[in-house]
Structure 1
Amino acid sequence: MHPHLRRRWAAPVLLALVSPALVASPAAATNPDTSALRDAVTVEGVSEHLDALQKIAEENGGTRVSGTAGYDASGDYVADRLLDAGYRVTEQEFTFPYFEQTAPATFARTAPTERAYAAEEFAVAQFSGSGAASAPLQAVADNLVPPPPEPNSSNAGCQAEDYAGFQAGNIALVQRGTCTFGEKALAAAAAGASALIIFNEGQEGRTEVVQGTLGGPLPEGSDIPVIGTTYAIGEELTTLLGAGEVRVDITTATLSEQRTTSNYLAETRTGRTEEVVVVGAHLDSVSEGPGINDNGSGSATVLEIAEQFAALDVQPRNAVRFAFWGAEESGLLGSTHYVAGLTEQERADIALNLNFDMLGSPNFARFVYDGDGSDTPVAGPPGSADIERVFLDHFAAAGLAAEPTEFSGRSDYGPFIAVGIPAGGLFSGAEGIKTEAQVALYGGTAGVAYDACYHQACDDIANVSEQSLSELGDAAAHATLWFASAETLPGAAPAEAAVAGGGAAGGGAVSGGHDGHADR
């Protein structure tokens, strides 16, 4: 990677120590005292950055999505604050496939009876084509209604033979399953479908509206409208088809084109550069809203940690690289671009990645990525268990409950674990539903999403919990300094030992983060 320097070289940071507790001495490396940094990283400081991001969104059409003026202004804000703190700031530009809905979509059944589906009952697939279709509905082979017990069992709509007997011009009804949504869309278009409806598969956790990505713009001629919907609606339509003809209307208005966006990076001036700790968060929002929790909360926390590192004149044993990723919501594209651009030596010099994505959910839980895979199906690369343990030990010492969340590569740690770099981080919850047991641990409301405004316009400055910001922010600051101070860091595994399901865009099981835009 050879990114250009942003604007100017900043003045050197003063080397006088303001707190002996923040010097990376051998004793501190064993059990570093992180209290001064934790005290300095406050909710007030994080909220100042969130207020700024909210204002930026308000001045730019209500969004900070990559490829727009709102994101560029967010990057300017972060870069200016880092420069003022004394960092050199690198802006790493890259091009990416930009997608936008330019008008609300519609979905209605017109026969045998009429039903207009509400906006919350379906979603336009990322990179869907733009257009209108009004035609008979036709189910493809291998839709499994009711579904089998195991997810990813349905092969519906994955191959040309699934469309045997398909009438060109009809709208295809396809179940979520083994292949990617992009593959389903290409197969449907090749069979002559005028539009595609993908309904969820039906097992526990796979019943809600499918919010999918096609992985990139569809080729000309294959760019049909594609929407996702719930299992219940798919089941309803399947039942109606069993009794006779069903007709539906679908309209989508979308824009897909190549645009330029950026990552922003700043590194401490001291510390071992062959043992770099990358501390990152994505800076972009979705197009639907300002993204103050997702992920203003994570990027504001990382920015505040970076500023307080400088204000306290932390002299780390290991260099810390603060990273603010672009185009995460388009499929982890910024972090993927960064990792792909590293030389073999640069990659070897990264000791680990800490990722902070959504730290202020209003109905929060304290989730720690399950680095050792002891409670979820997938472990991170060797060393990830050590990162998990640092977070868990911190929460235990503070008398706070925490629980594991699957380390599946659904946020910007994905490209790091895909090349064997250990990673970990925190998450306060997205659209998942809080349980009664979790209410006993964290408070809040059972039966309600951790963040009911996830990927919506209401993800604004009112959509954050100060308690969550405080508790997860403390843990983020603690882990950052702990690893910055450590004499021995978790070792990265070889690239061939990469974890299955790593988050490179366009591959793996999921891209886009937090179940927001699954690719299958």
Structure 2
Amino acid sequence: MSAVSHETSPLLSTRDEQNVAESNRKRRRSLLWIGGSVVVILVGLGLVFLVKGSEKKPVFEELKTEAIFGHLEELYAIALKHNNSRSITNGYRASAEYVQSQLQSVAGDFCDVSTQEFKVPIWSELKEPELSSTGIGQGNSFVQYQAMVDFRNFRYGGLGANLKDQQVHVVEGTGCQLKNHRGVKGKLALVQANTACDLWNIAYYSEMSGASGVMIYNDPTRKELMSNRIRIVAWEEGDPLISIPVLSLSNSLGMTLSHNEETVRLNLKTYNSLTIESTINVLCATKDGDEKDTIVVGAHLDSVPGGPGMVDNGSGATSLLEIALVLARDNFKVQNKVVFAWWGAEEIGLLGSRHYVRQIAKDQHKKKQLAMNINFDMLASPNYVPYVHDGKTAPKELVGPSSKIDHLLIEQFDKENEPYKYTRMTAGSDFLPFLLEGIPSGGVLTGAGQRKSEEERILFGGFANAPLDPCYHQSCDTLDNVSKKALGLMSRAAFHAITKVARADNLREWLANKDVQLSS
């Protein structure tokens, strides 16, 4: 505001000036308070000044990208002290302790901080397997096969083993019945992958029938070696695990062994370990809010063993942490109970969120109280695309409410005039256990190893034909891999959605009816 100079009029005498000044001094100023601001009215001069008072900032403005990045710096320091990793057997516990300490320092009356313990199987390949054969073709020649080209371990494919001079038994049919495995005892079962029987059952029935190992080879259309987990998908404590070696073979090697079943002999060495470990989910459930309309907002906190996981998923975990801290400091009042959840063991099959949902589902009353879920997994990919999970790709009965969630997340992008793109809601992250139990879900993300298209480059910038996250599941997923621009944009979308549903007084009606607007 520039200053205004009022000069004395030449038409007024000195005495006149004194009279005017005295008259002005007698005029009184009126003060009006409007929403924490002072309005000063100078009656005689007809001037109005608005003086800013101590009005509280909107809570949305308290969410700072730098604060989120500060939490990321702490998680990275933890990773550096634990083999550059925050996986279950490395820095995960320390990461969970950091989240708890931050919540406990400010949570106060906002939320109850707790942990949920559960057991998980940890499988590790200590060294690449070795495979060789004799008895193929004339001359009984020795052949050494190349790991990662001709064969590889399946994940969770058994313990270490040293098998010599092993016969091969070709399993007839799909491999999904014990009778298919007759004659396999003491031999290496050989099965072609098929859609009629999942890999776990092929391996399980082979072991139950006494096989020394299992080799599952590609169908002719598949070129890359399979690397699936040979494990019950939603594994829980007490479920079986495979102990014999389970190998993935190329189609050519599988066919060669099948054609030489009577004469071939194999030598196989595997160097694997399998342990059962205890781990935790970290939960922060608001003290207030209607339990009948409980909302779970989650992000996985663990990384892969081979990297610190700053984008995957330090970005989602720290965004959720700072959102909870901002709301706690603001004493944010919720209409519906909100559970902030940091999942463990996501990288080995969503086992933390599966455990949480499984425990809820055991009590139908509690399950009915669970209204919706929002998931935040990877919010800062360096070559990012702002993705929103498309509710129309949820299970049929959940399309309506899940679409309401994706529309809510989109509102923040629209407010900021930022483009976004839909992506399918299929497997891959912690919303899945909720969908499978009939709970509507949604989420935002910035992409993993998939490559950016030219169309996406035009819309969102960055580099076409390059991965959205070139360090996905690698040791280079460090702080240098984090896009602060993406982190800010996606965390604001998350904040907007969480606060809107937390204060909604018609949450269930809104979820159930496409024509109803969210109100608070």
What TM-score comes out, normalization by structure 2 length?
A: 0.73
Q: How much does 1:295 deviate?
A: 1.7
Assess, with a 3 A threshold, how the Cα gap between structure 1 residues 488 and 276 changes in structure 2: closer, same or farther. same
Cα gap change, 1:141 to 1:286, in 2 (>3 Å):
same
Q: 1:470 to 1:437 in 2, by over 3 A?
A: same
2:98 to 77, 85, 101: 77
Q: For the Cα contact (< 8 Å) 1:134–1:250, is it kept in 2?
A: yes
Q: 1:140 to 1:94 in 2, by over 3 A?
A: farther
Aligned to 2:107: 86
Quickly say closer, same or farther: Cα 1:429–1:264, change in 2 above 3 A: same
Give the equivalent residue in structure 1 for 2:206: 188
Residues 133 and 429 of structure 1: CA distance in aligned 2, closer, same or farther (over 3 Å): farther
Which amino acid in structure 1 is aligned with residue 156 of structure 2? Q
Separation of aligned partners in 2, 1:491 and 1:246: 66
SS at match of 2:107: coil
In the TM superposition, residue 424 of structure 1 has moved relative to its aligned partner by 0.7
Match of 2:24 in 1: none
Task: Output the amino acid matched with 2:159.
Answer: G
One of 436, 449, 456 as aligned partner of 2:454? 436
Mapped pair 1:128 → 2:158 = yes
The verdict on how the C-alpha distance between 1:136 and 1:252 changes in structure 2, with shifts beyond 3 A counting, is closer
CA distance in 2, matches of 1:452, 1:252: 30
Structure 2 SS opposite 1:363: coil
8 Å contact kept, 2:374–2:442: yes
Alignment check: 8 A CA contact 2:113 2:285 kept: no
Which residue of structure 2 lines up, in the alignment, with residue 406 of structure 1? 424
SS in 2 for 1:100: strand
Of 84, 95, 113, the residue aligned with 2:118 is: 95
How far does the alpha carbon of each residue in 1:272-322 deviate from its partner, in whole angstroms, 9 at most, with x for none? 333222111111223333222222121111101111112333223333221
Following TM superposition, by how much is the alpha carbon of 1:391 offset from its aligned partner in structure 2, in angstroms?
A: 1.9
* 1:120-149, Cα deviation, whole Å (9 max, x unpaired): 98454136332234566858467xxxxxxx
3-state SS, counterpart of residue 259 of structure 1 = strand
Aligned to 2:19: none
**Offset at residue 412 of structure 1 (A):** 1.8
Between Structure 1 and Structure 2, the one with more strand by share is: 2
2:91 counterpart SS class: helix
**Deviation, structure 1 residue 253:** 3.1
In the superposition, the TM-score normalised over structure 1's length comes to 0.73
Note the 1:26-45 alignment, pairs <5 A. 36-45=58-67
Between the aligned partners of 2:389 and 2:145, the Cα distance in structure 1 is 42
- Structure 1 residues 477 and 133, CA gap change in structure 2 (3 angstroms): farther
Unmatched 5+ residue regions in structure 2?
A: 1-34, 37-56, 137-142, 513-520
Query: What SS does the corresponding residue of 2:378 show, helix, strand or coil?
Result: coil
1:335 is displaced (CA, Å) by 2.0
Confirm or deny: 8 A CA contact 2:379 2:445 kept in the other structure: yes
Match of 2:372 in 1: 352
Matched, 1:287 2:317: no
Q: Which amino acid is the alignment partner of residue 125 of structure 1? A: R
User: Any conservation in 2 of the 1:362–1:451 contact (CA below 8 Å)?
Assistant: yes
Measure, in 1, the Cα distance between the counterparts of 2:447 and 2:217. Answer: 24
Aligned match for 2:274, one of 256, 263, 285: 256
Among 147, 152, 177, which residue is 1:117 paired with? 147
Deviation at 1:251, TM superposition (A): 3.7
Please state whether the residue corresponding to 1:372 is helix, strand or coil.
helix
Q: Secondary structure at the match of 1:260?
A: strand
Please state if 1:210 is matched with 2:210: no
User: Using the alignment, how far apart are the partners of 1:140 and 1:324 within structure 2?
Assistant: 45
For 2:206 and 2:459, locate their aligned partners in 1 and report how far apart those are by CA, in whole Å: 47
Q: Secondary structure at the match of 1:362?
A: coil
Call closer, same or farther: CA 1:168–1:436 in 2, change over 3 Å: farther
Task: Provide the C-alpha distance between the structure 1 equivalents of 2:313 and 2:254, rounded to a whole number of angstroms.
Answer: 38
Instruction: Work out the CA distance in 2 between the residues paired with 1:424 and 1:314.
Output: 23
Output the aligned Cα RMSD: 3.7
* Structure with greater contact order relative to length (CA < 8 Å, sep ≥ 6): 1
Deviation at 1:119, TM superposition (A): 8.8
The 8 Å contact of residues 421 and 492 in structure 1, kept in 2 or not, is answered as no
Write out aligned runs for 1:9-408 (5 A): 36-66=58-88, 68=89, 70-87=91-108, 88-101=111-124, 103-108=126-131, 113-118=143-148, 122-126=152-156, 128-133=158-163, 140=170, 156-163=174-181, 168-170=186-188, 172-175=190-193, 177-199=195-217, 207=224, 209-215=226-232, 223-228=243-248, 234-238=250-254, 240-241=256-257, 244=260, 250-342=268-360, 343-373=363-393, 380=398, 382-408=400-426
Q: How does 1:369-518 map to 2 (within 5 A)?
A: 369-373=389-393, 380=398, 382-490=400-508
Question: Secondary structure at the residue paired with 1:407?
Answer: coil
Counterpart CA distance in 1 for 2:364 and 2:339 is 18
- CA offset at residue 158 of structure 1? 2.9
- Preserved CA contact (<8 Å) 1:95 1:258: no
Q: Is the 8 A contact 1:123 1:211 kept in 2?
A: no
Superposition deviation, residue 353 in structure 1: 0.9
1:356 Cα deviation (Å)?
0.8
Distance in 1, Cα, partners of 2:245 & 2:273: 12
Question: What amino acid is aligned across from residue 271 of structure 2 in structure 1?
Answer: A
Within 2, Cα distance between the matches of 1:176 and 1:443? 41
Paired amino acid for 2:129: T
Distance in 2 separating the partners of 1:140 and 1:367? 46
Paired with 2:277 and 2:298, the residues of 1 have a C-alpha distance of 23
Q: Distance in 2 between matches of 1:443 and 1:141?
A: 52
* Shift in alpha-carbon separation, 1:134–1:417, aligned structure 2, 3 A: same
In structure 2, relative to structure 1, the CA distance for the partners of 1:237 and 1:338 (3 Å cut) is same
Whole-Å separation in 2 of the counterparts to 1:120 and 1:300 = 41
Task: Give the percent of matched residue pairs that are identical in Structure 1 and Structure 2.
Answer: 30
Contact 1:270 1:315 survives alignment (8 Å)? yes
| Partners of 2:119 and 2:112 in 1: CA distance | 22
Distance 1:243 1:180 in 2: 24
Give me the whole-angstrom Cα distance separating, in 2, the residues matched to 1:100 and 1:486. 44
User: Are 1:294 and 1:357, in contact at CA under 8 Å, matched by a contact in 2?
Assistant: yes
CA distance in 2, matches of 1:410, 1:193: 32
Matches of 1:379 and 1:45, distance apart in 2: 39
Q: Which has the larger radius of gyration?
A: 2
Contact 2:190 2:258 in 1 (8 A): no
CA 134–477 in structure 1, closer or farther in 2 if over 3 Å, else same? farther
Amino acid in structure 2 at the alignment position of 1:212: R
CA distance in 1, matches of 2:382, 2:225: 21
Distance change (3 Å), C-alpha of 1:91 and 1:246: farther
- Deviating more after overlay: 354-363 vs 450-459: 450-459
**Structure 1 residues 392, 457: CA separation in 2 closer, same or farther (over 3 Å shift)?**
same
Is the 1:170–1:194 contact (alpha carbons within 8 Å) kept by the matching residues of 2?
yes
Distance apart, 1:109 and its partner CA: 5.3
Q: Distance in 1 between matches of 2:323 and 2:268?
A: 47
* Distance in 1 between residues matched to 2:297 and 2:150, nearest whole Å: 35
Displacement of 1:165:
6.2
Report how many aligned residue pairs link the two structures: 442
- After superposition, the C-alpha distances for 1:400-444 in whole angstroms (9 at most, x for unaligned) are 333333323432222222232211111222333433333333333
After superposition, the Cα gap between the structure-2 partners of 1:133 and 1:218, relative to the gap in structure 1 and judged at 3 Å, is: farther
Answer whether contact 1:386 1:490 (CA < 8 A) is retained. Answer: no
